[in-house]
Amino acid sequence: MSEQANPFESLQEQIDDASEYMSVSDDVIERLKHPERVLETNLSVEMDDGDVEVFKAFRSEFNGDRGPYKGGIRYHPGVNRDEVKALSGWMVYKCAVVDIPYGGGKGGIVIEPDDYSEGELERITRSFAKELRPFIGVDKDIPAPDVNTGQREMNWIKDTYETLENTTEPGVITGKSPDSGGSAGRVEATGRSTMLTAREAFDYLDRDMEGASVAVQGYGNAGWIAAKLIHELGANVVAVSDSSGAVYNEDGFDPVDVKSHKNETGSVTGYHGADEEFSNDDLLTLDVDLLVPAALENAIDGDLAEDVRADVVVEAANGPLTPEADDVLRDTDTYVFPDILANAGGVTVSYFEWVQNRQRFSWTEERVNEELERIITDAFDNLVETYEETGAPNMRTAAYVVAIQRVVDAYDESGNWP
């Protein structure tokens, strides 16, 4: 994984690239390249041994032209201000590309969560929720899970917010467990949109998904569900990895079995059905029909991209390719279907969760999945139409053209005030 690429600079470059295929003035484009505000805070939390530890945390609210800020909260030692800014910007364009009425936000705590007890994590999370309270709200800024956070953390944040506000407002946060107001289908949603994007991409490119070979980097929420659903389409998931390494079997794995192994042992390595084990980078350069990066940003930089042999890349992770990697893959005719569409299922079902919370009425999983499929396939059709009409160099640039135009339209209609 490249240490050099700054994800915020990558985001800005992606916006600049798209602007060349649009008629939007430079000053408006400049406005769309910076967050409206970033909260940086230090959480002082008592540990189990009585000591107090300080954790740096951020929340970036990038753009609210199309609706409340929306985006996850990440717990990771690599969290930093620029990463959070980039992730919040990607949320703006992700929500716009699938046309849901949100702006973009993102937050994170600089922490290795494995080093802390559940009680400590709860106090750290509640402390962050207290800091976030003035900024978040059902019509203001709506956090959600991201790397190393899930239903448990969302439930704590909701409870802290509701307690401090003396109200019930489940729509202040999404990705909650079902009994706390979560939506059916939310856990699977990101992997599902990755699968739907891969399915539509193969159809568009006239390729057969049945028997296609697939490698998935990262076997967390996004990666493992994508692997499972793509396998259900008849593809062969031949390689998967997590932070401990990669496993390979030419004939393909049963992703559910690999997941059981990971649940038992903590990693995909050592899986009994593997013929070979190798490094994460080796997985990214396998000769497969479809590569799904589903770990963290900057997984493939320009140098590594030279060795990528997959025909199609569908990004489940946020920002897994650097702009240099994009350039290399464009030149090698590798189709890259971008994160802001492929992993938009998470935020789309978060949106459904928020709608259900506001309606105080729950949808069935079937309805959630149907509405998600409609939104992702419509967005996919829009994307390829724009790709063909504008002559954009790749699908990412075309996706930004669609998304930026929607944000610009909302901004134009509201006017610039004050």
Ligand X SMILES: NC(=O)c1ccc[n+]([C@@H]2O[C@H](COP(=O)([O-])OP(=O)(O)OC[C@H]3O[C@@H](n4cnc5c(N)ncnc54)[C@H](O)[C@@H]3O)[C@@H](O)[C@H]2O)c1
Known binding-site residues equal 70, 94, 190, 221, 350
Residue among 412, 392, 318, 279 nearest 21 (CA):
392
Does 183 participate in binding ligand X (rule CB under 6 A)? Answer: no
Q: Which stretch binds ligand X (CB under 6 A): 126-134, 202-210, 240-248, 394-402?
A: 240-248
* Neighbouring-strand partners of residue 110: 76
Taking CB under 6 A as the rule, which mask of x and - marks residues 4-23 in contact with ligand X?
--------------------
Closer residue to ligand X (CB): 141 or 146: 146
1 binds ligand X (CB under 6 A): yes
Q: What are the contacts of 382-385 at 24+ separation with CB within 8 A?
A: 382/97, 383/97, 383/341, 384/204
Which 184-203 residues touch ligand X, going by CB under 6 A?
Answer: 190
Smallest separation, CB 16 to ligand X (Å): 22
* Selected binder of ligand X within 60, 88, 148, 334 (CB under 6 A): 148
Q: Can you tell me which of 147, 214, 237, 321 binds ligand X, judged by CB under 6 A?
A: 147
As annotated, the binding site for substrate includes 70, 94, 350
Strands 213-217 and 236-242: parallel
Name the strands in the sheet holding 236-242, side by side, starting at the edge strand that comes first in the sequence.
276-278, 245-248, 236-242, 213-217, 290-293, 312-314, 335-337
Cβ atoms 194, 345 nearer than 8 A: yes
The residues, ordered by sequence, that sit 6+ positions from 242 with a Cβ below 8 Å of its Cβ are 218, 219, 220, 223, 262, 267, 268, 269, 295
Nearest to ligand X of 136, 187 (CB atom): 187
- Which one of 317, 329, 372, 402 is in contact with ligand X (CB under 6 A)? 317
CB-nearer residue toward ligand X: 66 or 76: 76
Residues 283-312 close enough to bind ligand X by CB under 6 A: 294-296
Q: How many residues bind ligand X (CB under 6 A)?
A: 25
Pick out residues in 330-349 that bind ligand X (CB under 6 A): 343, 346
Q: What would the x/- binding string for ligand X be over residues 216 to 235, using CB under 6 A?
A: -xxxxxxx------------
**Residue 106 annotated in active site:** yes
Q: Which residue has the tokens 């053209």?
A: 401
Q: Which residue of the set 106, 176, 228, 259 is catalytic? A: 106
- Cα separations (Å) of 195 from 6, 90, 126, 237, 309? 28, 20, 34, 12, 20
In the complex with ligand X, the residue whose CB is nearer, 240 or 408, is: 240
Strand partners, 321: 300
Q: What angle do CA 21, 351, 177 make, to 5 degrees?
A: 140
Sign of the Cα torsion 304, 307, 308, 311 reads positive
- Give catalytic residues, as residue numbers: 106
The contact set with ligand X (CB under 6 A) reads: 1, 145-148, 190, 217-223, 241-243, 280, 294-296, 316-318, 343, 346
